[in-house]
A and B are shown apart, each in its own frame.
Chain A
Amino acid sequence: DAMVIQNPRYQVTQFGKPVTLSCSQTLNHNVMYWYQQKSSQAPKLLFHYYDKDFNNEADTPDNFQSRRPNTSFCFLDIRSPGLGDAAMYLCATSRAGVGAGARTQYFGPGTRLLVL
């Protein structure tokens, strides 16, 4: 089945130690998104890639970066995690354009990040 995969499902890191979360997709979608979700809240968009074009949300801290080396993979890098960065990180994909199926985002299972 076509899907969005996130690894690892749980990640523990130390305060200030860089960490990378990964996302891959078999849907061949051209748009990939990273969200942060804190407990009992809606997901908050950090940034997205439209093909190779990176689009940062205005309020995303500089501490968060992303890389998309090819269509299938996208990485979230947290350069110096703080205690406030502990959250669920969700990756999603969509097919841009018009018509049936476009504009629908499909989410991965998420990576829960714990910062010690």
Chain B
Amino acid sequence: GDSVTQMEGPVTLSEEAFLTINCTYTATGYPSLFWYVQYPGEGLQLLLKATKADDKGSNKGFEATYRKETTSFHLEKGSVQVSDSAVYFCALSDTGTASKLTFGTGTRLQVTL
């Protein structure tokens, strides 16, 4: 079945540092790929997505590229801020009519001054 593997957290960075959170997937067919962010006590917010190979999703300075050859969708940001502290989930959507999501385990990011 489909699966998503994310790097273990927590990740602790100083403000303005470069961020990478690794995500790899296993899926049949051509899934869509997503990054969701969850702030404490809140629901999941869609951060970015990519629907086909070589697509780059971007939002709020975050980027991720759909790499079919390496089955990866790594999240990057050039300069993190304290306000980026949250849990980040990588996910894929299957090709079925209901588009079920398969989530990674989540990576907690803590940014300090």
Interface residues of A (CB under 8 A from B): 4, 6, 31, 40-43, 45, 48, 50, 55, 88, 90, 92, 94, 96, 100, 102-110, 112
Contacts and interface: CB of A to CB of B under 8 A. Distances in A.
Given A42-B106, A43-B44, A105 B93 contact: yes
Contacts of A50: 97-98
A101 to B, nearest CB: 10
A34 to B, nearest CB: 12
Contact of B106 (A40, A103, A105): A40
Pairs A-B, 8 closest by C-beta atoms: A42-B103, A103-B99, A110-B43, A107-B44, A107-B43, A109-B43, A103-B93, A103-B32
A105 B93 CA distance: 9
Interface of B: 32, 34, 36, 41-46, 49, 51, 89, 93, 97-101, 103-106, 108
Contacts of A100: 51
Nearest to B44: A107
Contacts of A55: 98
A54 B97 CA distance: 13
Contacts of B93: 103-105
26 contacts: A4-B43, A6-B43, A40-B108, A42-B89, A42-B105, A43-B101, A43-B103, A45-B100, A48-B98, A50-B98, A55-B98, A92-B44, A94-B99, A96-B97, A96-B98, A103-B51, A103-B93, A103-B99, A104-B99, A105-B34, A106-B46, A107-B43, A107-B45, A107-B46, A109-B42, A109-B43
